């Protein structure tokens, strides 16, 4: 097996084009498991670890002050937790649940997207925040794919064979975000089900992301429109009021209805649906309480 080690983004793209048999490797926390279990035998590994651009993040100002975070695909979870919890609270919460400290130091969001597992923890907060995945090939240049269009099947994505993931563009949070994950224990666990929500008070919208309860990570568009519509029509965005329990429950039911879970070793379809409705209700309540707290403090 060849080991390709480009030191610039241009060289990495050239190598990707020249060696279709090469598997990119970032933190290696998925790739090395596959190699060790002989699930993959690539002709080459394309190590992205020396491409400095992939390990950087920047925040562009943006008219409203919030701006957009451009998160290099090779930024590990540990740095998101340490450096970006204020701008990307949902992704930081999800990052804290990934594996163990060792995995969080090595593992990257680009790698989570590359694997595109329905259980990947980065996906629900990226969906809820309306993130966009920036991919690039030597032949066709850059394309930007909304997270909601990135996942195309179980462990499949819209990434073409000659493309690499350059970065993830995530709007900095304009309101509270939450991430909930159900597993069989508190750490080192693949999600049985997971849910992310984001309140976007700037545009009076609600974002959602469902994990481990459908062939791909997905949003719950009807639940989003329902909650945003109810908050608007009841004048709640401008009130000091609590989120009515009936509204949070109805939101949870709509989130659960958007899932299409399966029975497997980790959990039953019925449990996944039920747990989603509970997580979505709680996440909405917590996010709303945070929204009101922040408004009082402002
Ligand atoms: C013990 C253990 C616990 C884990 N726990 C969790 C968990 O709790 N939650 C969770 O979500 N995951 C978990 N994982 C899985 C893994 O850590 C994550 O999916 C992680 O995000 C992978 O990132 P990586 O940088 O290590 O990816 P790699 O293993 O380097 O790559 C993963 C895939 O992405 C591709 N890839 C990587 N970078 C790029 C790029 N820039 N462009 C194109 N393709 C690219 C690779 O070719 C490969 O197909 C765990 C893994 C282990 C071993």
Ligand 1 lined by 115 (C-beta under 6 Å): yes
At residue 73, the pLDDT reads: 98
Work out the average pLDDT over 186-198: 93
Strands 2-4 and 177-182: unpaired
pLDDT digits (tens, 9 = 90+) for 23-80: 999 999 999 999 999 999 999 999 999 999 999 999 997 655 579 999 999 999 999 9
pLDDT digits (tens, 9 = 90+) for 136-171: 999 999 999 999 999 999 999 999 999 999 999 999
CB–CB of 28/20 below 8 Å? no
At residue 64, the pLDDT reads: 53
User: At residue 118, does pLDDT exceed 80?
Assistant: yes
Kindly give the distance from the C-alpha atom of residue 76 to the centroid of ligand 1, in angstroms, as a whole number: 10
pLDDT band at residue 253 using 50, 70 and 90 as cut-offs: very high
- pTM greater than the 0.95 cutoff: yes
Work out the average pLDDT over 110-116: 98
pLDDT band at residue 99 using 50, 70 and 90 as cut-offs: very high
Higher pLDDT, 221 or 61: 221
Ligand 1 lined by 114 (C-beta under 6 Å): yes
Ligand 1 lined by 207 (C-beta under 6 Å): no
CB–CB of 59/69 below 8 Å? yes
Ligand 1 lined by 168 (C-beta under 6 Å): no
């Amino acid at each position: 097996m060849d080991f390709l080690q480009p030191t610039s983004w241009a060289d990495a793209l050239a190598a990707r084009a020249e060696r279709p048999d090469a598997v990119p490797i970032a933190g290696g926390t998925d790739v090395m498991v596959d190699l060790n279990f002989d699930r993959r035998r690539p002709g080459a590994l394309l190590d992205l670890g020396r491409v400095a651009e992939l390990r950087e993040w920047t925040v562009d100002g943006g008219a409203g002050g919030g701006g957009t975070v451009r998160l290099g695909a090779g930024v590990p979870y540990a740095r998101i937790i340490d450096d970006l919890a204020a701008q990307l609270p949902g992704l930081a919460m999800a990052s804290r649940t990934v594996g163990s400290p060792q995995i969080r130091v090595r593992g990257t969001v680009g790698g989570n997207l590359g694997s595109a597992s329905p259980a990947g923890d980065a996906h629900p907060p990226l969906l809820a925040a309306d993130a966009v995945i920036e991919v690039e090939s030597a032949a066709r240049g850059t394309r930007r794919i909304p997270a909601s269009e990135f996942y195309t099947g179980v462990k499949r994505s819209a990434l073409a064979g000659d493309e690499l993931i350059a970065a993830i563009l995530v709007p900095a949070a304009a309101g509270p975000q939450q991430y909930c994950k159900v597993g069989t224990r508190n750490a080192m666990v693949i999600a049985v089900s997971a849910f992310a929500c984001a309140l976007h008070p700037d545009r009076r919208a609600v974002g959602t992301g469902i994990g481990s309860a459908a062939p791909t990570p997905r949003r719950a568009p009807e639940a989003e429109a329902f909650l945003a519509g109810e908050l608007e029509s009841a004048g709640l965005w401008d009130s000091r009021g609590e989120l009515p329990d009936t509204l949070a429950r109805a939101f949870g039911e709509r989130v659960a209805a958007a899932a299409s879970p399966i029975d497997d070793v980790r959990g039953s379809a019925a449990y996944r649906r039920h747990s989603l409705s509970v997580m979505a209700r709680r996440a909405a309540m917590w996010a709303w309480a945070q929204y009101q707290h922040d408004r009082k403090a402002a």
